[in-house]
Structure formats: structure tokens, C-alpha cells
Amino acid sequence: MRPLEDVRIVSLEQYGAGPFGSMHLADLGAEIIKIEDPGAGGDVGRYVPPYAGGEDSLFFESFNKNKSSMVLDIRTPEGREVFHDLVRSADAVYSNLRGDVPEKLGIRYEDLRHVNPRIVCCSLTGFGMTGPRSNEGGYDYVLQALAGWMSVTGEPGGAPQKTGLSLVDYSGGFVAAIALLAGIHAARRDGVGTDCDLSLYDTAVSLLTYPATWHLTEGYTPARTHHSAHPSLVPFQAFEAADGWLVVGCAKEKFWVRLTEVVGRPDLAADPRFATFADRDRHRDVLVPLLEDAFRERTVDEWLEPLYAARVPCAPIHEVAGALDDPHTLARALVVETEHPRFGTVRSLRSPVRVGPPGDDVVPARGGPPMGRDTDAVLAGLGYDDERVAALRAAGAFGPPPTPQDAARPLSEVGSGVEGTAHPTPEAPSAPAR
């Protein structure tokens, strides 16, 4: 058994941060029942270009492996009835919506404790459920600006830059996964559930880490550094070689001594201006140009061989293709293949979260579910018979009441009714950014 096979999570998630967090739990065996609002066309991530068509996109596939999907409108009385039955059977309700939406939808612990006293209600929002921004939607780009990230990214004197990846979203997903597991553990121990009020804003600010400590305690002012240099460890930055770029880092004094031998300047190790971390930091304006001149004399490969041999931390600066083709990426089985009716074989990335002996911790993956694929199976698991399903369906619990032609078809075949149409804007904006 995988570690979380006894965990069931009902998820009202969409776009990036929320689905990213629950996907890691799904990879560990948790049952993720993804509720998609049929009136909004389901998860907005299904429609993200450029590789999208109908209710499918490669963006969606990146965040929703190993999950189930059911269509359900929990704002209708009948849909709410089904939702409560799911809550009775679940360990947690997980969402990534705007901070004021969990109360409106009735998915907080105080709204659901009468249904299941052990339920954990985990909300990953843009700004949290309290504070002056709690009713704002959160987007990765906006959060990187607000949290100060952009002020320390890029070259000195240049425009502020965001990171190349949506790291606030993804870090928020990891934070939510940790909180979910902690909440479920406590509920099983104590018999009482709880709320988990998480936000992308909190996540982004908390990731300021030691520069924030330096600023709060000693008044340090973080700033952008030349060629992505470490703010205090010198040298630790990107260097330009004759044919490309590499990173070299001396995180320990012994690496500095070895580096001087590799670049043919052992005299630098003996120079009192460069004797310690503090000395090199004070004299970086002298030292770094000397090293930059040296690195320009050879190609990246010509530098990597002696640097590896001397065990000086270093790496070529890959493009994305190089990272995905790296032998270590392949050896770690980070690339996974799933089959999809529209896209054929989809190659995407496996979760880095693993539990088990090395080599035995990789299991086959299922692609992201078509919208509503598992509605019938989930309802059957709740004990619903055909008559009850038909009544709920006629009442609009799974979207607009079906046409006569749809009446005899399984819910998984009816879908959301938006195939081939423009994706409708969801009523409640999601926390993650585009």
C-alpha cells in the first residue's frame, strides 16, 4: 500500500496552486475527488492555451494526475446534499478560492462540523481569511511583487523581474499539502477536525527567510546582485564562459581554495583581501572581475571537468530542454508518461515527494481525468441507486437539467456542455495566478 491510500480528500480546486498541492498527495495514494462546477465549465485550467482543445489542456494534465473528477453544483440544495454525503466519507475538504468564498460556499469547519466532526477544512486562498486583502483574488505575479521578490530578482539597475516559474503558486501548494496532512493526523488523534487558513501571501512573505531576518534584526536592505550572486558568499554566482554560462559556488572555505587552483590563481587564496567569507564580501568588486576574466577563457565543458574533479560546487546553466534531458533527471524517473484521448502519450513530470526504499517508490501514473468521468462511480460508492441519481440529475445537482437525449446517458458521458465553446469565467476567482 502507498502511504496515503486510506485518505480521502474532497477538493474544490482549480488552476495551479490548489491542484499542484493535492497532486502530490494523490501520487502518495490519497483519493482526490475533484469537484468541478458544471456551470463554470469546471476547472479553469482545462482551457489554458496554447495546447488546449475542448475540455482538455496540457496545462491541466500537469497538475491533475491520479485524481478523480465529478461534476457537482454545491449551490443547489440537491448538490449540497450530495456534497454533505461526500464530507461524511472524507478526511478533508480542500479548496483554493478567494478568501471570502469559503464562507459563501459553506465549506469551513463551522459549516461542516455537524456533518462530520472530524473533517479538516483546508483553504488555500490568495491572502487568507483575515486581513485587509482577504476578499482579493491572489495571483502569482501579484504576490511576487507584493512580497518583495521582484525587488531582489534581476540585474542591479535593471527593471524588477519575476521568477521564471510560478513559485508562489507551487510553494503554496506544498504548504497546503503539509497543512492537510497535519490536520488529518490531528483529527484522527483527537477526533475533532479544524480549519486550515493558508494563503499565497503568507507563503510568499515567509520565503523571504534569512534576508528578512537580517532586515528585521539589523536593518539590512536586500538588493539585486550582479549575475545572481549570493548576497554574502563570494564567489557564488553565474559566470560567463567562452560559449555559455555556468554557476560556481564556494559555500565553504575549502571550496574557495580549490577554486583558485582550478582557475590557475593560487595566489588569490593567499591574498589577505580574500582570506575569509567576510574579506571576500568586502572586496567582491576587486575579486569578481578577476574571476570573470578567467572564466571567459574556456568553454563551459572545459571548466566543468576540473571543477567536478576538485569537487567545487558547479553546474552548467541549462535551458529547460537540457534540464529535462539530463541523465540524472532520467535516472530519478522524474518524467512520466500517461495516455490521453486527445493528446496521445503525454510526457510530464512526476511528483518529487516519495516514500519508500529508493527504486521502489515509483508507481504508474494516471493522466488527468476528463471532466465528470468519475461522477457515476463516486455516487455509486456513496450508495446511490439509479433512481436517486436520476432525481438529483433532474433537479440540477450536476448542472442544468438534462435534455431528453441525455436522460439515458451516464453523467460521465454528458459532460459540462461547454465542449468546443469559450470557457466561462468562474464566479469565484481562484487563488493561483496565470
* SS3 category, 176: helix
Region label for 232, one of left (φ > 0), alpha (ψ between -120 and 50) or beta (otherwise): alpha
C-alpha cell belonging to residue 31:
483519493
Which residue out of 27, 56, 73, 169 is catalytically annotated?
169
Q: Residue 79's CB: how many other CB atoms inside 10 A?
A: 22
C-alpha cell belonging to residue 11:
477538493
CA atoms within 13 A on the CB side of 269: 15
Q: Residue 267's CB: how many other CB atoms inside 10 A?
A: 9
Give the residue among 1, 3, 70 at the shortest CA–CA distance from 32.
70
Give the residue among 365, 433, 371 at the shortest CA–CA distance from 43.
371
Tell me how long the chain is.
Answer: 434
Is position 361 annotated as part of the catalytic site? no
Rounded Cα distance between 97 and 124, Å, is: 7
Rounded Cα distance between 33 and 26, Å, is: 10
Are 247 and 239 in contact by the 8 Å Cβ rule? The answer is yes
CA atoms within 13 A on the CB side of 29: 13
**Burial state string for 194-213 with b = 16 or more CB within 10 A and e = fewer than 16:** bbbbbbbbbbbbeebeebbe
Rounded Cα distance between 79 and 81, Å, is: 5
- What is the identity of the amino acid at 15? Y
In sequence order, which ranges of 332-398 are alpha helices (DSSP H)? 375-381, 386-394
Q: Residue 391's CB: how many other CB atoms inside 10 A?
A: 12
Residue 349 main-chain phi, psi, to 5 deg = -110, 140
Secondary element (H or E) of residue 184: helix 167-190
C-alpha cell belonging to residue 170:
507551487
**Catalytic positions:** 169
